[in-house]
Amino acid sequence: MFSKALHNRWLRLCVGVLGELIVAASINLFIVPHNLYTGGLLGFCQLIRTVAAQNLELTPGFDFSGILYLLLNIPLLVLAWRNLGRAFVLRTITCTVCCSLFLTLIPVPAEPIIEDLLTSCLLGGIVGGFAGGMILTCGCSGGGLDILGLYLSKKGKGFTVGKFSVSCNAVLYALCLVLFDASTAIYSTIYTVFSSLFLDRSHQQSITVQMLIFTKEKHPELPRFIMETLERGVTCWKGHGGYTGQPLEVLCVCLNKYEIETLRREIRKIDPQAFFIVQEGVQVGGHFEKHLY
Spatial distance between the Cα atoms of 157 and 232, rounded to a whole number of angstroms: 16
Q: Model's pTM, two decimal places?
A: 0.69
Write the Ramachandran bin of 215: left for phi over 0, alpha for psi from -120 to 50, otherwise beta: beta
pLDDT at residue 287, rounded to an integer: 61
Helix (H, G, I), strand (E, B) or coil at 189: helix
Looking at residue 27, its pLDDT comes to 92
Instruction: Please give the pLDDT value at position 144.
Output: 81
Residue 5's pLDDT is 52
Give the strand order in the sheet containing 235-240: 235-240, 247-256, 208-215, 275-280
d(CA 164, CA 162): 5
**Selection from 115, 102, 139, 290 nearest residue 207 by Cα:** 290
Question: Which pairing describes strands 208-215 and 247-256: parallel, antiparallel, or unpaired?
Answer: antiparallel
For residue 261, the model assigns a pLDDT of: 75
Whether 35 and 184 have beta carbons less than 8 Å apart is answered as yes
- Cα–Cα distance between 99 and 127 in angstroms, integer? 15
- pLDDT at res. 120: 93
The backbone region for 168, taken as left when phi is positive above 0, alpha when psi lies in -120 to 50, beta otherwise, is: alpha
Q: What is the pLDDT along the chain (293 residues), one digit of tens a residue?
A: 555 555 567 777 888 899 999 999 999 999 989 988 888 888 888 888 888 877 766 555 556 677 888 888 888 888 888 777 777 788 888 888 898 889 888 888 888 899 899 999 999 999 998 888 888 777 777 778 777 777 776 666 556 666 776 778 888 889 888 888 889 899 988 888 888 788 777 765 556 778 899 998 888 899 898 888 887 889 899 888 888 888 889 999 988 776 777 888 889 899 988 888 888 766 666 666 655 54
- Supply the pLDDT for residue 57: 64
Q: How far is CA 189 from the centre of its chain?
A: 19
Task: Quote the CA–CA distance of 152 and 162 in Å, as a whole number.
Answer: 12
Beta bridge partners of residue 255, listed in sequence order: 209
Given this model, what pLDDT does residue 159 score? Answer: 61
Q: What three-state secondary structure class fits 267? A: helix
Q: Are 23 and 135 in contact (CB under 8 A)?
A: yes
